[in-house]
Structure 1
Amino acid sequence: MSRRALLAGLGLGALAVNLSTGASTAVAAEAEAEAAASAAAEAAAAAAAKNGAWANPALGRFPAGGHYGAPRGGASHAGQDVSNSTGTAVHAAAAGTVVRRSWGGGLPGRTGNALVIAHGGNQYTYYGHLSAYRVALNATVTAGQRIADMGATGNVTGPHLHFETHTGSLGSTVNPVGFLAARGVDLSGGWSRIDPGASGATVVVIQRLMTRRGHTLVADGQYGSVSVAAVKRFQSSKGLVADGQVGPATWPALVYTLRQGSSGAHVRALQTALNKRSARLAVDGGFGSVTTSAVRAYQSANRLVADGEAGPVTWRALTG
């Protein structure tokens, strides 16, 4: 006789069914709670990744067929190409150590002068077809630092940066466009996205711009509760979504068009952004001839209009 039949004979069948149903409901509820917790953790991790630690490695356009996964004679393209003229600045996508500086970067199927940077946590970036190196092997670099010049060395049809992202191990590539987007960087050249909890030079830029906007903040590079609350108030005042993320909607409202003769916290913000891109300026808040020269040099190296005026296009490139 089955257990249920025995229980039914004792008048306990309904109880057994109820216990079984209750157990199933509890298991389902637990599974649902675990799924919700997992989704929340993934969302938190995605937000935490937009932490200001990454930067756009080069400005240019995406050429046809230069995308990740494009067919390459029986293989697939391992990175994203960014086309521009020879000599265009190439920047470190994040802080790290130069572990390869050689033809092809020591990786199979690659040609041309290349650099590989190790960023820790089994993450690497690859920069290929370079015309010139600006850092040495084993050098320690910072996010946004100029490390090389774009070129056409190796097997190419024209000058461009071949950019790869590796995660898990060197040689295990992932789509660099998605990889950087998850970290708040638009490889195609758009505004960056900086979330609460971020830190670093780009946060200092935000804090100094906010101070100029009347929300006096300590420029400590920590995007904590005080800075986030100030940004939310600023967003509300501009009719923007007050989510605390400094992204494509907030940056244009936050930056100023600056030129020689300007002075104040917004100029300090500009000087900080230029220094992240290797300008080495004194952050004194005065837009004099030295800062003008630095703006022109940055614009020229990145193939922007070199007029010495820091407008939205220059700010977008600097903070990207």
Structure 2
Amino acid sequence: MCESCATPAVEELAADEEAVRRGGLSRRGLLAGLGAGLGLSVIGLTTGASTASAASAKNGAWANPALGYFPQGGHYGAPRGGAAHAGQDITNSTGTGVYAAAAGTVIRRSWGGGLGGRTGNALVISHGGNQYTYYGHLSAYRVALNAKVKAGQRIADMGATGNVTGPHLHFETHSGGLGSITNPVTFMTARGVDLGGGWPRLDAGASGATVVVVQRLMTQRGHKLVADGNYGSVSVAAVKKFQASKGLVADGQVGPATWPKLVYTLRQGSSGQHVSALQTALNRRSAGLAVDGTFGSVTTTAVRAYQGLNRLVVDGEAGPVTWQALVG
């Protein structure tokens, strides 16, 4: 986990005034989001939770940035000397894929990402609306500074650069401005993403590639939806009907109870709309496949590459574990 990656102590703030004049982010800005030490951290945690709950639509715009596990002591707000941990650590092997949590623009690509109290190679993405995400301790960059990225696009590789005890992704969410830190687990949960690697949640009104995945899977299930990426009334009604047929709560939310009933286990030789759904999900993770509904050797290679990159069992078969990772 991170040995630093913390908001800094109050006595360090004066040194950052020049950074602000140069257009950088001061430690005071960071402290406004979280606070120094235990006294102010409570204020920061409360503020972050309120911001997240105020924009809690599970609309398909967000994606899990990495697969792995939460290490002990790597949680948001954990003690870091006289400060508090500014993000959530996700542990896996060096080289594991790191993905954009939402569409946006890469505004920082440097050691520490231009933020005080951080170490290691890092990226910062601006998502608009005063929302930002931070990715730290990277072993390699996969996008350039000022690049436009899509949700789920591969942007980097996990690593152990900087002051760490082992390879992991240090992931932060900033809502209300860069430096207004909030709990990444709470922030992402409010947007339908389980940072721990579980199935995502999509509500009515969602849009994007994951909705296309749902629509194509539903068509394979006999509901014949247009794969337009808009989770509107027709698609919601079809999902409710499908949920009822499977003995699920027919609430129209595509979540952890519905996904396992909806996906198929696919392998080379399969064909149909469910394969098109798989190819769409792989493309969301930067595979670059033709969406032709045929599970041939190229799709098999893409599945195996994704499994290997993310430390899954590399068998070329798209089962529930691979699906969950892809759509999360």
User: Would the TM-score normalized by the shorter structure come out above 0.5?
Assistant: yes
SS at match of 1:184: coil
Q: Which residue number corresponds to residue 95 of structure 2?
A: 87
Shift of 1:43: 8.8
Shift of 1:273: 0.2
Percent identity, please. 84
From 270, 275, 284, the equivalent of 1:276 is: 284
- Per-residue CA deviation, residues 216-254 of structure 1 (Å, 9 max, x unaligned), is 000000000000000000000000000000000000000
- Per-residue CA deviation, residues 197-233 of structure 1 (Å, 9 max, x unaligned), is 0000000000000000000000000000000000000
Shift of 1:172: 1.2
Q: How far apart in 2 are the matches of 1:228 and 1:159? A: 41
Report the AA paired with residue 226 of structure 1: V
Q: How far apart in 2 are the matches of 1:168 and 1:155? A: 28
1:192 aligns with 2:200: yes
- Per-residue CA deviation, residues 160-188 of structure 1 (Å, 9 max, x unaligned), is 00000001111111000000000000000
- Per-residue CA deviation, residues 130-172 of structure 1 (Å, 9 max, x unaligned), is 0000000000000000000000000000000000000111111
SS at match of 1:206: helix
1:240 aligns with 2:232: no
Q: How far apart in 2 are the matches of 1:280 and 1:99? A: 25
Give the RMSD, CA atoms, in angstroms: 1.1
1:102 aligns with 2:122: no
Contact 2:53–2:190 (Cα < 8 Å) also in 1 = no
Q: How far apart in 2 are the matches of 1:226 and 1:50? A: 18
Q: How far apart in 2 are the matches of 1:60 and 1:187? A: 9
- Per-residue CA deviation, residues 33-80 of structure 1 (Å, 9 max, x unaligned), is xxxxxxxxx99953xx10000000000000000000000010000000
Q: Which residue number corresponds to residue 25 of structure 1?
A: none
From 209, 212, 222, the equivalent of 2:230 is: 222
From 191, 207, 210, the equivalent of 1:183 is: 191
From 133, 140, 157, the equivalent of 2:165 is: 157
Q: How far apart in 1 are the matches of 2:317 and 2:69? A: 23
Q: Which residue number corresponds to residue 74 of structure 1?
A: 82
Q: How far apart in 2 are the matches of 1:262 and 1:191? A: 23
From 91, 113, 124, the equivalent of 1:116 is: 124
1:203 aligns with 2:233: no
Q: Which structure 2 residues correspond to residues 227-306 of structure 1 after superposition, within 5 A?
A: 227-306=235-314
Structure 1: segments with no counterpart, 5+ residues: 1-41
Count of aligned pairs between the two proteins: 277
From 318, 321, 324, the equivalent of 1:313 is: 321
Q: How far apart in 2 are the matches of 1:100 and 1:67? A: 23
Q: Which residue number corresponds to residue 140 of structure 1?
A: 148
- Per-residue CA deviation, residues 262-317 of structure 1 (Å, 9 max, x unaligned), is 00000000000000000000000000000000000000011100100000000000
Q: How far apart in 2 are the matches of 1:139 and 1:271? A: 24
Q: Which residue number corresponds to residue 60 of structure 2?
A: 52
Q: 1:44 to 1:65 in 2, by over 3 A?
A: closer
TM-score by length of 2: 0.84
Q: Which residue number corresponds to residue 5 of structure 1?
A: none
Q: How far apart in 1 are the matches of 2:232 and 2:178? A: 34
SS at match of 1:191: coil
**Larger radius of gyration between Structure 1 and Structure 2:** 1
1:128 aligns with 2:116: no
Q: How far apart in 2 are the matches of 1:45 and 1:73? A: 32
Contact 2:99–2:154 (Cα < 8 Å) also in 1 = yes
- Per-residue CA deviation, residues 108-129 of structure 1 (Å, 9 max, x unaligned), is 0000000000000000000000
Q: How far apart in 1 are the matches of 2:54 and 2:102? A: 21
Q: How far apart in 1 are the matches of 2:298 and 2:207? A: 27
Q: How far apart in 2 are the matches of 1:123 and 1:290? A: 37
Q: Which residue number corresponds to residue 36 of structure 2?
A: none
